[in-house]
Structure 1
Amino acid sequence: MIIDFYTAIKSRRSIYTISNESTIPDERIAHMVEEAVKCAPTSFNSQSCRVVLLLGKHHMKLWEITKESLRNIVPEGSFAQTEEKIDSFSKGHGTILYFEDQTVVKGLQDQFPLYKDNFPIWSEQSSGILQYIIWTSLEIEGLGASLQHYNPLIDDEVKKNWNIPDEWELIAQMPFGKPLQLPSEKDFMPMDEKIRVFK
């Protein structure tokens, strides 16, 4: 059942228990990603966001890479818990990789030196907006997702396996699939501690 945007904002949560099923065809997922990348705002209309959608064996390969990368650094006695977590992501339907093209960022730094220190920050903010658009879109379509950050540990292997340009900096990974479990209740701080309105 498709839900409206504001309901999706309220119900969008980190969903870790997902299946390899999808509520919508892969073509619709790809279209959603394309539209989000096209329409997400970026500083100076830089359009620095880059996305790789991994499905099927490619999705599985990402989490195999991640598991083996972690095996090299996590103590053997603690690895079972790590492996269980990574396996929960690999059981999903797909993964969205978010990148920022550093060629674009550096080009803007050269073109507008007055804002040089701001462009990396604005680039990260643009990526965050894109991630939220896609995450909420998945929620609207009945898919659960979470946001993971195994970069830079997996960067080299990701670039090698999917022929990713060196200039693309990996920002985050978003495994998604059909939710198998509802998230726990979320506590909220009082709004008057977070928002101030002046009239």
Structure 2
Amino acid sequence: MTDFAKIQEERRSIYNLGKNVEQDSDELFSIIKGAIRETPSAFNSQSVRAVLLTGQAHEKLWQMTLDELKKVSASDEAFATTEAKVNNSFAAGVGTVLYFTDESIVDGLKEQAPTYADHFDDWAEEAIGISLYAVWLTLSNLGLGASLQHYNPLIDQAVQKAFDLPSNWTLRGQMPFGSIEGPANAKTYHDDDVRFMHFN
């Protein structure tokens, strides 16, 4: 097995996170930037934007998320379950990567290449997926755990206001990460015959 295949195999969604991380926030920021910088995007659009939150900013994000979730929770009991999940998993990590699409880039490409205008939103999502996977594999290779969350669009306005982010950045996902304090669940796979075809 190649090193890359091994890294892919070992990457999992880790929900039992901690703060026992060797790298400081500046090192983590450099590592994450490097992983995203080298990812491909359609027309080399580089439409992905990322924000690393650590320390108080990380804690602030998850408290804001809980505040928004409480507003839409079906009951106090339901919220208590959600609150425990957020506090014991996502907020318990050392940081969170926020992934955004720069809509001004996407809109500009639609104007520059109208023949492909209907596809640029999809291609921007591809760029997000490639970028977050690159970061996830990089973190996994460092021995760190992560998961991917989607509390957008519920928290979009609160995040934009709290961190004074450009209005043309659309939040696409949140990746809490940290030390691995408990193993991932076993991964199951769909049958290869259902998922793959080969013609020769």
TM-score normalised to the size of structure 1? 0.95
User: Take 1:73 and 1:194, find their aligned partners in 2: how far apart are those partners?
Assistant: 37
Contact 2:58–2:91 at 8 Å: present in 1 too?
A: yes
User: Take 2:181 and 2:12, find their aligned partners in 1: how far apart are those partners?
Assistant: 13
User: Take 2:180 and 2:72, find their aligned partners in 1: how far apart are those partners?
Assistant: 30
Aligned residues between the structures:
197
Q: State the 1:37 CA deviation.
A: 2.1
Report the 3-state secondary structure (helix = DSSP H, G, I; strand = E; otherwise coil) of the residue aligned with 1:144.
Answer: strand
Report the 3-state secondary structure (helix = DSSP H, G, I; strand = E; otherwise coil) of the residue aligned with 1:103.
Answer: helix
Contact 1:4–1:140 at 8 Å: present in 2 too?
A: no
User: Take 1:114 and 1:137, find their aligned partners in 2: how far apart are those partners?
Assistant: 36
Note the 1:26-37 alignment, pairs <5 A: 26-37=25-36
**Which deviates more from structure 2 when the two are superposed, residues 34-43 or residues 172-181?**
34-43
Contact 1:148–1:173 at 8 Å: present in 2 too?
A: yes
Contact 1:23–1:143 at 8 Å: present in 2 too?
A: no
Q: State the 1:123 CA deviation.
A: 0.1
User: Take 1:140 and 1:28, find their aligned partners in 2: how far apart are those partners?
Assistant: 15
TM-score normalised to the size of structure 2? 0.94
Report the 3-state secondary structure (helix = DSSP H, G, I; strand = E; otherwise coil) of the residue aligned with 2:49.
Answer: strand
Q: State the 1:106 CA deviation.
A: 0.4
Aligned residue in 1 for 2:92: 91
Contact 1:24–1:141 at 8 Å: present in 2 too?
A: no
1:18 paired with 2:17, answer yes
Aligned residue in 2 for 1:46: 45
User: Take 2:185 and 2:141, find their aligned partners in 1: how far apart are those partners?
Assistant: 19
For residues 54-76 of structure 1, the C-alpha deviation after alignment (integer angstroms, 9 at most, x for no partner) is 00000000000000000101022
For residues 2-21 of structure 1, the C-alpha deviation after alignment (integer angstroms, 9 at most, x for no partner) is x9432110011110110122
User: Take 2:51 and 2:8, find their aligned partners in 1: how far apart are those partners?
Assistant: 24
Q: State the 1:152 CA deviation.
A: 0.7
What amino acid sits opposite 1:82 in the alignment?
A: T
What amino acid sits opposite 2:181 in the alignment?
A: L
Report the 3-state secondary structure (helix = DSSP H, G, I; strand = E; otherwise coil) of the residue aligned with 2:118.
Answer: coil
Note the 1:123-138 alignment, pairs <5 A: 123-138=124-139
Aligned residue in 1 for 2:156: 155
Aligned residue in 2 for 1:61: 60
**Which deviates more from structure 2 when the two are superposed, residues 142-151 or residues 76-85?**
76-85
Q: Structure 1 stretches (4+) deviating beyond 6 angstroms? A: none
Contact 1:99–1:171 at 8 Å: present in 2 too?
A: yes
Q: State the 1:184 CA deviation.
A: 1.9
Q: State the 1:129 CA deviation.
A: 0.3
